[in-house]
Structure 1
């Protein structure tokens, strides 16, 4: 549909450009994200595997790569639901780290960060729609339910056939036995 061909690239643009910007300025982004990352690792660090990097610059670079890769995939319509899910997973911590307006005292800066926060919340809404968009095809859950029903109907038919066959064989055996 033409709507998807236009909407997906428009939705992806902010992520691709943001990812490129983050790669170019990884140190600056890392410095801004460091308090959030430290707080997050303090809270859940004991359940996060050791293999997960804790260096803010590395995390920013990984996040940037996800944004660029998933953004391009979404724009191109390649695995769009997965791409939108990855972008949503990237957007939430980015928003909390960069736009926590509730911690800011200066009214002007607070208002700017509040605008950015709600802009990201709006983009998250678009991503949720993209995640759930099956392009008119039945969802995996729908297909699974119907496959289960089909298997049940098939098993029921096979059971009836087996029962008829068993009765038929029993009648034959009864006729074959001397009385």
Structure 2
């Protein structure tokens, strides 16, 4: 079972690590998009969110306080869904549909990250992790 959990952690973290690379290497382009969405301090927001993504994804991947890493990903995903993919404010049907898909993806991933939090915080003997939970339940 430990190897199955590890494979799941690798697959889950890969998405966030790839996104973090984009945030940190293409921050100017991403900041322009964030500014168009009305985000304050877009350059700082993009870089900060990239750091949160790296920290959360590596925490889950490596099993270093993976419960905290899961919460960091939730802290990224929920505001991102609401602020960057606010489909309800789009008038173009195709743009609205695209933003709704992205919103739903972020909310679903936030739900998965919350489940990971509960899993990691509840079970101190996860196997194949470097540390136990920071917030044991």
Compute the TM-score of the two structures, normalised by the length of structure 1: 0.63
Alignment partner of 1:60 is 2:56: no
Cα RMSD of the aligned pairs, angstroms, is: 1.9
CA distance in 1, matches of 2:13, 2:75: 14
Q: Deviations over 1:64-103 (max 9, x none)?
A: 0110122122111111100010111011122222211111
Structure 1: 5+ residue stretches without partners: 39-54, 142-179
Whether contact under 8 Å (2:56, 2:72) holds in the other structure is yes
Structure of greater Rg: 1
Structure with the bigger percentage of helix: 1
Moved over 4 A (4+): none
Q: How does 1:16-165 map to 2 (within 5 A)?
A: 16-34=17-35, 35-38=37-40, 55-134=41-120, 136-137=123-124, 140-141=136-137
Q: 2:4 and 2:87 mapped to 1: Cα distance? A: 34
Question: Residue 91 of structure 2 aligns to a residue in which SS?
Answer: coil
The question of whether the paired residues in 2 share the 8 Å contact of 1:11 and 1:126 is answered with no
**1: CA distance, partners of 2:124 / 2:66:** 14
Q: Which runs of 5+ in 2 are unaligned?
A: 126-134
